[in-house]
A and B are shown apart, each in its own frame.
Chain A
Amino acid sequence: MSVSAPGSFDLDRPWRLDSQVSIRPERFGALAYHFGTRRLSFLKSRKLLAVVEGLAEHPSGREACRRAGVTEAELPAYTRALERLAASGMVIERGDP
C-alpha cells in the first residue's frame, strides 16, 4: 500500500475527509474545522462541499469531482483546492481501495 507523500495530491487516488473534521454548510459553501490541528478552512462553493463529501464514496478524487458536477474546465481549480485541503490534513488518502 503506497500513500502519497504529505502535501502532495494525486487526483487519481482515493481520498476521504479526516475523521476529526467537522463540516458545516453555509450559504456560500461550507466551513470545515479540524479538531486535531484546530484549523478552520473555508470552502468557497457548494460544489466543493459536494466534492469533499463525496470523496469517501468514490474510487478517486477525480471521480468525486465528476460526480459532483465539476467540469473539465473547472477541474484544475478543484484539484488545487483539494491539494490545499490535503496539505492542511483536512482530507487524507485512503488505503488501497
Chain B
Amino acid sequence: MSATAATGRSLVEQFESGLDAPICLTWELTYACNLACVHCLSSSGRRDPRELTTQECRRVVDELQRMQVFYVNVGGGEPTVRRDFWELLDYATAHDVGVKFSTNGSRITPARARALAANDYVDVQISLDGASAEVNDAVRGPGSHATAIRAMEQLASAGMENFKLSVVVTRHNVTQLDDLEAIASRYGAQLRLTRLRPSGRGADVWDELHPTAAQQRRLYDWLMERGETVLTGDSFFHLGGYGDALPGLNLCGAGRVVCLIDPVGDVYACPFAIHDAFLAGNVRDPGGFARVWRESELFTELRSPQTGGACASCGLYDACRGGCMAAKFFTGLPLDGPDPECVLGHGEALLAEAGRAGRIPAPATDHSRRTPPRRALTPRAPTPRTPTPRPCDESPVASLKVIG
C-alpha cells in the first residue's frame, strides 16, 4: 500500500510540494523582551507599536482552527510579557490549536505552572544555552540561568511532564551536552537542541559562536547515539552527510510545511528568516493567513522543484539537500550553494572568500533595545547587562512517523 505507488512520489517530494496548511507554524507574539540574548533570531527587545491586537490574534487563531493547523510554536521576544498572553493561550487551546511556547521562564509562577500542567494542549520550552551559569549567561544575560532553572523547578513541582529544555548549540555549550541532558532529566523534561543560526542578532555573533567543524562531527555522533530521545526540530539536517540521516524529515520546510507569523502579522516563509526576501504577505491582508499560505508567489516558488545549484553534483546532496536557506542567506552565501557548515567544508571555503561582507544582507527589522548590551561571548569573561529572548524554532517534522 502506498501512496508512493499510487502517486509515484516519495514522502519527501510530497512535503516539498507543500501542504494545504502548515503542520505547525512559528508565531512570534511580540518583539518585546526582558532579556537581550546575543543570538536572538528576531533581534527582539522593544515592542513594536503595530503589534497585532488581542482581537486580531484571536482571528488568526480562528483561521488556524479552520485550516486544522495542529499547533503553533509561540515565541518572541518573550511571549509571556504580553499582557494577554495567558488569555490567548487559553483561547487557542480551546479552539483546537495546540500551543508550544518558548520562554526564558521569568514569568512562570507556581500558579501558572499548575495551570500549564493541567492543559494537555500546551507544551513549554524553557530556553537555556549552557549547563553552567557562566556559559549560559554569557549569551543570555546575567541571572538568566538561575531564572530558567527556577522555572523548571516550578513546572516539575506542578506536575508538568515532558516539557522541553531548549538549547541553541554553541561552540561553548557543545561540550556540555551530557550535563544539559542530565539537567533536563532532573526536572522530567526532554532535551531539545537547535542550531545556532546567523539570523537577527545571531549574525553578529555567529562567526564566534557557531560550533567548529570538529564539534559538529561530535554533535552528529552524539545525536545519532541518542536517536529520538533528544529533539532537534529537524535543525541539523545539514549534518546528514556525515552518515545516516538524523531522525526527522530532513528537508527545508520553509513555505512547505512551516512558516512564521511575526508580531505585526507579517508572514515569512522561514522561522529563521525575518527579512523582506522571505516575506510573503500579512495576516491583515484580504484573505488573511490562508490566502498567504495558499497563494503567495513566494510560497508557490518555494514549493516548485529546486535545483541543487553548485551542490547538485555532490554525492551527499541527497543527505543534506543543500542545507539551511537562512544560514546561507545571512552569511552572504548563494541559496543554491553549500550550507556555511557543509560537512565537506565547501561552505567554509566560500566564507573565506574575500568580499563576502559586502554580500551579507542588512537586517530588515531590528527591535533591539537602543542601548545594546555588548557582551563578551566567551564564558568567564566579564558579562554585562540586559538579558533575553529566545529563538523559536521548530519544524515539527522531527517526530514524524511514516505510517503505511
A67 beta carbon closer than 8 Å to chain B: no
Q: Which residues of A contact B9 (CB under 8 A)?
A: 28
Over the window 1-19 of chain B, the binary record of Cβ atoms lying under 8 Å from chain A Cβ atoms (1 yes, 0 no) is 1111011010100100001
**In whole angstroms, what is the CA distance A86 to B65 when docked?**
26
The stretch from B137-145, B284-292, B337-345, B396-404 touching chain A is B396-404
B178 beta carbon closer than 8 Å to chain A: no
Say yes or no: B400 contacts A41, CB within 8 Å: yes
Q: Which residues of B contact A84 (CB under 8 A)?
A: 401, 403
A56 beta carbon closer than 8 Å to chain B: no
Q: Which residues of B contact A36 (CB under 8 A)?
A: 120
B325 beta carbon closer than 8 Å to chain A: no
Report the nearest A residue to B71, measured CB to CB: A33
Q: Which residues of B contact A48 (CB under 8 A)?
A: 1, 403-404
| 8 Å CB contact of A44 from B2, B20, B397 | B2
B70 beta carbon closer than 8 Å to chain A: yes
Known contacts A28-B3, A35-B98, A74-B1; is-contact A42 B21 (Cβ 8 Å): no
Say yes or no: A47 contacts B1, CB within 8 Å: yes
Q: Which residues of B contact A43 (CB under 8 A)?
A: 403-404
Q: Which residues of A contact B70 (CB under 8 A)?
A: 22, 24, 31, 33, 35, 40
Say yes or no: A35 contacts B121, CB within 8 Å: yes
Say yes or no: B120 contacts A20, CB within 8 Å: yes
Report the nearest A residue to B13, measured CB to CB: A28
**In whole angstroms, what is the CA distance A48 to B20 when docked?**
19
| 8 Å CB contact of B68 from A22, A45, A78, A85 | A22
Known contacts A28-B7, A33-B71, A38-B123; is-contact A77 B402 (Cβ 8 Å): no
| 8 Å CB contact of A45 from B6, B20, B401 | B6
Q: Which residues of A contact B98 (CB under 8 A)?
A: 33, 35, 38
State the main secondary structure of chain A at its contact with B. Answer: mixed
Closest approach, in angstroms, between the C-beta of B400 and any C-beta of chain A?
A: 5
Say yes or no: A78 contacts B120, CB within 8 Å: no
Say yes or no: B402 contacts A42, CB within 8 Å: yes
Say yes or no: A40 contacts B1, CB within 8 Å: no
Q: Which residues of B contact A44 (CB under 8 A)?
A: 1-4, 11, 402-404
Say yes or no: A35 contacts B400, CB within 8 Å: no
Say yes or no: A81 contacts B19, CB within 8 Å: no
**In whole angstroms, what is the CA distance A36 to B7 when docked?**
32
Known contacts A22-B70, A33-B70; is-contact A42 B403 (Cβ 8 Å): yes
Report the nearest B residue to A20, measured CB to CB: B120
Say yes or no: A81 contacts B404, CB within 8 Å: yes
Say yes or no: B20 contacts A26, CB within 8 Å: yes
Among A40, A43, A74, chain B packs the most CB atoms within 10 A around the CB of: A40
**In whole angstroms, what is the CA distance A38 to B98 when docked?**
10
Over the window 12-32 of chain A, the binary record of Cβ atoms lying under 8 Å from chain B Cβ atoms (1 yes, 0 no) is 000000001010101111011
A66 beta carbon closer than 8 Å to chain B: no
B280 beta carbon closer than 8 Å to chain A: no
Say yes or no: A42 contacts B2, CB within 8 Å: no
Q: Which residues of A contact B71 (CB under 8 A)?
A: 33, 35
**In whole angstroms, what is the CA distance A22 to B100 when docked?**
16
Say yes or no: B404 contacts A42, CB within 8 Å: yes
Over the window 54-90 of chain A, the binary record of Cβ atoms lying under 8 Å from chain B Cβ atoms (1 yes, 0 no) is 0000000000000000000010011001001100101
**In whole angstroms, what is the CA distance A38 to B23 when docked?**
12
Among B71, B120, B123, B399, chain A packs the most CB atoms within 10 A around the CB of: B399
Report the nearest A residue to B21, measured CB to CB: A24
Q: Which residues of A contact B4 (CB under 8 A)?
A: 44
Say yes or no: A26 contacts B19, CB within 8 Å: yes
Closest approach, in angstroms, between the C-beta of A81 and any C-beta of chain B?
A: 4
Over the window 308-333 of chain B, the binary record of Cβ atoms lying under 8 Å from chain A Cβ atoms (1 yes, 0 no) is 00000000000000000000000000
**In whole angstroms, what is the CA distance A26 to B96 when docked?**
18
**In whole angstroms, what is the CA distance A43 to B21 when docked?**
16
Over the window 364-404 of chain B, the binary record of Cβ atoms lying under 8 Å from chain A Cβ atoms (1 yes, 0 no) is 00000000000000000000000000000000110111111
Q: Chain A: residues with CB nearer than 8 A to chain B?
A: 20, 22, 24, 26-29, 31-33, 35-36, 38-45, 47-48, 74, 77-78, 81, 84-85, 88, 90
Nearest 8 CB-CB pairings of A with B: A44-B404, A44-B3, A33-B70, A77-B1, A24-B68, A81-B404, A41-B403, A28-B3
- Known A-B contacts: A28-B9, A81-B403. Give 10 more (CB < 8 A): A24-B20, A28-B3, A29-B404, A35-B70, A39-B401, A40-B401, A41-B403, A44-B4, A84-B403, A88-B401
* 7 A-B contacts (beta carbon < 8 Å): A22-B68, A31-B23, A38-B98, A40-B397, A41-B400, A42-B402, A45-B6
